[in-house]
Amino acid sequence: MNIHKIAVIPGDGIGKEVIAEGVKVINKASALDGGFKFEFTYFPWGCEYFKKTGKMMAEDGIEQLSKFDAIFLGAVGAPGVPDNISLWDLLLVIRKSFDQYVNLRPIKLLKGAPAILKNVSEEDINMVFVRENTEGEYAGSGSWMYKGKPNEVVIQNSVFSRHGCERVIRYAYELAKSENKTLTSISKANALNYSMVFWDQIFKEVGREYPEVKTFSYLVDAASMFMVKDPKRFEIVVTSNLFGDILTDLGAAISGGMGLAAGANINPERKFPSMFEPIHGSAPDIAGLGKANPLATVWSASQMFDFFGYSEWGKRLIGYIENILTDKKVLTPDLGGTATTSEVGDEIIRKMQLDFK
């Protein structure tokens, strides 16, 4: 029996509610399969922990997490704790410390998901974003001078290293090649005259190693327009940290909403644990009300199955999500239903059980 040790960080707000359903589904899959087991260890880190201790995670948190095979995270952020502290000291420090330089975000209109774009069907929205996840606009380099004075100045630097750009772009080429798909790079070299000129250059350089991959290159402003007007032109997409952050929320909007947007923070070399988490945040507006849609988290669990080589289970979970969406009987309010977060989780369990009867 293969045992995988998973560190669970439910975090804040709806993070706790959706993770509970994700864990429930993974446990059920282990029980039905019998060939593997996921062992969960919970960490109470997040904004409540911060309010008690002044820290977002234990002092040796990264060292503790490094002993696990993967991390399953809900969401981070709560009113009363500045977002730049809560996110930098927990989520972003994990992505960076564990060199999770690939943020894989599928933007796919599943069967039965609400399509907000006119005349668009499932075949038209089926892309995977490969978002750079450790540097770029999120490098955290800068300064704040003369704070609070009339001559106050802030500087926020972007850092684009050759190593950092090459590796994520190469990952995207490999993915496009293995799936026989096109690869689109999204940048902004007309205005960002160092960073994005460099990005575009590296996209071309690495591309010489992949003559079989058909490529496109768009400016980010035009790309956002095309994602809405003509999403089928995107298959595999590679882009910088900030552009990837913004465009994947747009992607969520056109493929069923934040409740259906999944992500995986991958360290491809597997030297460090990778982290699986929905794209959405802690949603303070609905936290604690049982209204959060857990399907994005279940989809991230499906990515975790793929990562550990259980792609059968990865596919199956997507199938259950599609069943839920096409049945339209047990849906949370964001998808027009009245079911609670845990009722959606229970419905998936029920479908799993039926499948294995």
With CB under 5 A, what is the number of residues at the site for Mn ion?
1
Ramachandran region, residue 309 (left: φ > 0; alpha: ψ -120 to 50; beta: rest): left
**282 touches ligand NAD (CB under 6 A):** yes
- Cα separation of 298 and 342, whole Å? 12
With CB under 6 A, what is the number of residues at the site for ligand IPM?
6
Of 17, 21, 235, 245, which lies in the binding site for Mn ion, with binding defined by CB under 5 A? Answer: 245
DSSP state of 231: G
- Cα separation of 265 and 10, whole Å? 16
With residue 344 as reference, give the H or E element that holds it.
helix 341-355
Lookup result for tokens 């330089």: 101
Of 6, 25, 279, 298, which lies in the binding site for ligand IPM, with binding defined by CB under 6 A? Answer: 279
Name the minimum Å distance from CB 257 to ligand NAD.
Answer: 7
**135 touches ligand IPM (CB under 6 A):** no
User: Strand pairing of 183-187 and 236-239?
Assistant: parallel
Stretch that binds ligand NAD, among 20-28, 147-155, 281-289, 317-325 (CB under 6 A): 281-289
Supply the DSSP string of 16-75, one letter for each residue: HHHHHHHHHHHHHHHHHH-SEEEEEEE---SHHHHHHHS-SS-TTHHHHHTTSSEEEEEE
Stretch that binds ligand IPM, among 28-36, 85-93, 118-126, 267-275 (CB under 6 A): 85-93
Name the minimum Å distance from CB 130 to ligand IPM.
Answer: 14
Name the minimum Å distance from CB 16 to ligand NAD.
Answer: 12
Name the minimum Å distance from CB 92 to ligand IPM.
Answer: 6
Name the minimum Å distance from CB 249 to Mn ion.
Answer: 6
Of 12, 89, 99, 245, which lies in the binding site for ligand IPM, with binding defined by CB under 6 A? Answer: 245
- Cα separation of 169 and 238, whole Å? 7
Name the minimum Å distance from CB 279 to Mn ion.
Answer: 6
Q: What does R_g of the chain's alpha carbons equal in angstroms?
A: 20
**12 touches ligand IPM (CB under 6 A):** no
* 103: helix, strand or coil: strand
- Interface residues with ligand NAD (CB under 6 A) are 14, 18, 75-77, 83, 87, 91, 258-259, 277, 280-286, 292-293, 296, 334
